[in-house]
Chain A
Amino acid sequence: QVQLQESGPGLVKPSDTLSLTCTVSGGSISPYYWSWIRQSPGKGLEWIGYIYYGGSTNYNPSLKSRVSISVDTSKNQFSLKLNSVTAADTAVYYCARYQQYFQHWGPGTLVTVSS
């Protein structure tokens, strides 16, 4: 059974870059797609983007100018970077296996943007 675990700082300062990593265990990161989703009280569930194990990506246009997702197959990990964050980026961030829908999710990690 594949398991996912998010990791990274829980507090980020405004205008800084939010960086999170998702570690996949119980299975290989290939040949699948992997995604980041966030959830905030104000905006609900929001799909951020996905990456194929080979490296191709697709991002939500609402975040495209600030987001980057990368993959490290040797570590069975993929990562999220979101730059120029504001308080509106405060949310629980989830990583998930993407099959157009999302069957396997990490437990989520709360990231707060505050000085």
Chain B
Amino acid sequence: EIVLTQSPGTLSLFPGERAILSCRASQSVSSSYLAWYQQKPGQPPRLLIYGASSRATDIPDRFSGSGSGTDFTLTISRLEPEDFAVYYCQQYGDSPRTFGQGTKVEIQ
């Protein structure tokens, strides 16, 4: 199975700053079949990005995804207060579908 490793584990930033989150796969993710989710306490994950770089419905354009092969990045251009949460990547290029362990973006 493809293991996804996210870094850093925690990112401490101020509102308005740029956040760069990394997701590295143990083997190449075919066709850039990678998604990103945001999760807040007590809520299910919310789809942000699919196909490595396509924004899901109603997701603000400050969220962007990039990458291919084994290295993928989620960038939040200017952090809003509501963006402080945990972010997960998920690959769907191979079975079983797998998730990364998450990156927590916290207010500094």
Contact = CB atoms under 8 A, between A and B. Distances in A.
A69 to B, nearest CB: 14
A14 interface: no
B44 interface: yes
Q: How large is the interface on A (under 10, 10 to 19, 20 to 34, 35 or more residues)?
A: 10 to 19
Interface in B1-58: 1, 33, 35, 37, 43-47, 50, 56-57
Contact of A44 (B47, B97, B101): B101
Contacts of B57: 103
Contacts, number: 48
B90 interface: yes
B98 interface: yes
B24 to A, nearest CB: 16
B9 to A, nearest CB: 12
A33 to B, nearest CB: 11
Interface of A: 44-47, 58, 60-62, 94, 96, 99-103, 105-108
Given A47-B96, A102-B90, 7 more contacts: A45-B102, A61-B1, A96-B44, A100-B92, A102-B47, A103-B56, A105-B45
